[in-house]
């Protein structure tokens, strides 16, 4: 138990750092090449002088190389920590049928350490550790609470999609001419991907039925995995004759991403609009908790008074108790007194 308490904040930080490195590599390996390819296709229609100057700006800079080196270095440095923790759990935890799924989760964490965020701990009564909240039981109440906390930041990130799309697709010449603007677009793309991945991993960890949650939030999964499919697709393109096909695929991907982002924006508008309902539910839950607390206090007082009444009855003398019992019997069975009166009348 003490091992889980000590390592929970550390492993949360490791998984979070790994996810940040993943977002950085998504930008450097996928978003930057995609933009470079679309920019070169755009430059084919521009004057020759502008094309020559823009080609120099599109080359890979030392900053990109340094960021890639740092992200890869941190990734390979943090990966063994997650693997070591998973091996430790495989050796120390019980292999009962009820706890076997946690071993499968440990193997999954070895494949993708960022999924280690908010992992349940059997040593801590199957609770999860969250920064600022401590150990919490994953239930519907915690899930609603986290969704309320995520609603405003994710709504702002959804609004961030609009300027990124406007600048990237309608001000392409200005983006090519100003590297700082291009860097801002790439940073915005990385923040959007990181926010979707972080929210999805945390809420999946809290959800009781994970498969149903994935089915209802399939759009988030598509946004998270779409860059991976694009990266695998580019690795398969090895011949020069397929460059035009690759450009068409990227253009189709850009159209698909725009459509998906528009759907995401609508989804977050609906979520923000439904926030009042969530606040009302939270308020009613607090009122219910207060009523339940008052009911518990009343039950304790009633039990205390009953105990006092029993103690007072025990302290009474035996004669008083006998007379009290006789009176109780007489009141309960009044018909038993009638035979005695008839016998007295017969004697007279």
Q: What is the pLDDT of residues 182-207, one digit of tens each?
A: 888 888 888 888 988 999 999 998 98
Specify whether the CB–CB gap between 223 and 264 falls below 8 A.
yes
Dmax over Cα atoms in the chain, in whole Å?
142
Last residue of a domain, one of 273, 295, 314: 273
| Mean pLDDT score of the chain | 75
Separation in Å, CA 309 to CA 69, 314, 317, 321, 327: 78, 9, 15, 14, 19
> 204-218, 230-244, 331-345: which has the minimum mean pLDDT?
230-244
Claim to verify: residue 41 and residue 171 sit in the same structural domain:
yes
Predicted confidence at residue 194, as pLDDT, reads 92
Predicted confidence band of residue 254 (pLDDT cuts 50, 70, 90):
very low
The structure tokens listed for 202 are 């945390």
Indicate the pLDDT class of residue 346, thresholds 50, 70 and 90. Answer: very low
- Per DSSP, 96 falls in state -
Same domain, 110 and 256: yes
Residue 336 resides in a domain: no
Length of the chain: 348
Does the residue 328 lie in any domain? Answer: no
Mean pLDDT for 9-32 is: 90
In a domain, 339, yes or no: no
Q: Are residues 253 and 313 in the same domain?
A: no
In this structure, the answer to whether residues 192 and 303 fall within a common structural domain is no
Highest mean pLDDT: which range of 39-48, 265-274, 293-302: 293-302
Are 177 and 308 contained in the same domain?
Answer: no
Q: Are residues 34 and 177 in the same domain?
A: yes
Residue 347 has pLDDT above 50, yes or no: no
Q: Model confidence over 39-51: pLDDT tens digits?
A: 777 777 777 766 6
pLDDT value for 23: 92
142 close to 135: Cβ distance less than 8 angstroms: no
Predicted pLDDT of residue 337: 46
Q: Is residue 263 part of a domain?
A: yes
319 has pLDDT over 70: no
- Who has greater pLDDT, 336 or 61? 61
Could you read off the pLDDT of 80-132 as tens digits, one per residue?
999 999 888 888 888 887 778 888 888 889 999 999 988 888 888 889 999 88
E strands in the chain: 128-130, 134-136
Between CA 35 and CA 250 the distance in angstroms is 9
- Measured distance CA(84)–CA(58) in Å, rounded: 41
CA distances from 211 to 106, 119, 151, 248 (A): 18, 16, 22, 34
Say if residue 177 is in the same domain as residue 255: yes
- The tokens of 249 are what? 């695929």
Distances from the Cα of 17 to the Cαs of 14, 20, 77, 130, 223, in angstroms?
5, 5, 11, 15, 20
What is the predicted pLDDT for the residue at 332?
54
Res. 281: pLDDT tops 60: yes
What mean pLDDT is predicted for residues 288-317?
A: 82
237/203 same-domain check: yes
The whole-number pLDDT of residue 162 equals 74
- At 340, the pLDDT band (50, 70, 90 cuts) reads very low
Q: Can you give the pTM of this predicted structure?
A: 0.66
135-187 pLDDT, tens digit per residue, is 998 888 888 888 888 888 887 887 777 777 777 777 777 877 777 888 888 88
Instruction: Let me know whether 286 and 153 are in one domain.
Output: no
Does residue 201 form part of some domain? yes
Q: Cα(227)–Cα(222) distance, rounded to whole angstroms?
A: 9
Which helix (H) or strand (E) segment is 152 a member of? helix 140-170
| Any domain includes 185 | yes
Alpha-helical segments (H) within 171-242? 172-177, 179-206, 210-216, 218-236
pLDDT at 57: 67
Q: Is residue 345 part of a domain?
A: no
What percent of the chain has a predicted confidence (pLDDT) above 70?
A: 71
- Tell me whether residue 329 is in a domain: no
Domain membership of residue 89 as a residue range: 2-273
**Quick one: 21 and 60 in the same domain?**
yes
The domain tally of the chain equals 2
* CA atoms of 119 and 11, how far apart (whole Å): 10
Tokens read off for 331: 């009141």
Residues 209 and 308 occupy one common structural domain: no
Residues 197 and 308 in one domain: no
The reported pLDDT for the residue numbered 277 is 62
């Amino acid at each position: 138990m003490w091992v889980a308490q000590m390592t929970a904040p550390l492993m949360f930080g490791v998984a979070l750092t790994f996810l940040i490195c993943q977002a950085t590599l998504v930008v450097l390996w996928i978003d930057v090449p995609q933009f470079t390819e679309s920019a070169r296709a755009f430059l084919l229609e521009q004057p020759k002088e502008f094309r020559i100057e823009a080609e120099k700006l599109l080359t890979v800079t030392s900053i990109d190389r340094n960021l890639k080196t740092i992200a890869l270095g941190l990734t390979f440095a943090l990966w063994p920590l997650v693997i070591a923790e998973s091996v430790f759990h495989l050796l120390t935890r019980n292999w009962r049928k009820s706890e076997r799924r946690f071993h499968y989760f440990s193997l999954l964490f070895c494949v993708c350490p960022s999924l280690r965020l908010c992992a349940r701990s059997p040593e801590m009564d199957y609770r999860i550790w969250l920064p600022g909240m401590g150990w919490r039981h994953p239930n519907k109440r915690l899930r609603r609470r986290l969704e309320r906390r995520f609603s405003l930041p994710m709504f702002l990130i959804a609004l961030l999609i609009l300027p990124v799309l406007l600048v990237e697709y309608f001000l392409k010449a200005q983006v090519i001419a100003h590297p700082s603007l291009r860097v801002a677009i790439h940073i915005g793309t990385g923040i959007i991907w990181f926010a979707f991945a972080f929210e999805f991993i945390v809420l999946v960890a809290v959800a009781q039925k994970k498969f149903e949650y994935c089915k209802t939030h399939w759009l988030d999964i598509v946004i998270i995995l779409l860059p991976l499919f694009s990266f695998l697709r580019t690795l398969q393109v090895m011949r020069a004759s397929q460059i035009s096909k690759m450009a068409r695929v990227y253009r189709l991907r850009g159209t698909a991403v725009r459509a998906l982002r528009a759907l995401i924006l609508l989804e977050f508008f609906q979520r923000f609009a439904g926030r009042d309902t969530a606040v009302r539910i939270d308020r009613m839950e607090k009122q219910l908790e207060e009523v339940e607390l008052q009911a518990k206090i009343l039950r304790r007082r009633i039990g205390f008074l009953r105990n006092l009444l029993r103690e007072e009855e025990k302290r009474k003398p035996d004669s008083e108790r006998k007379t009290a019992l006789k009176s109780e019997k007489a009141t309960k069975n009044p018909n038993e007194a009638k035979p005695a009166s008839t016998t007295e009348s017969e004697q007279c």
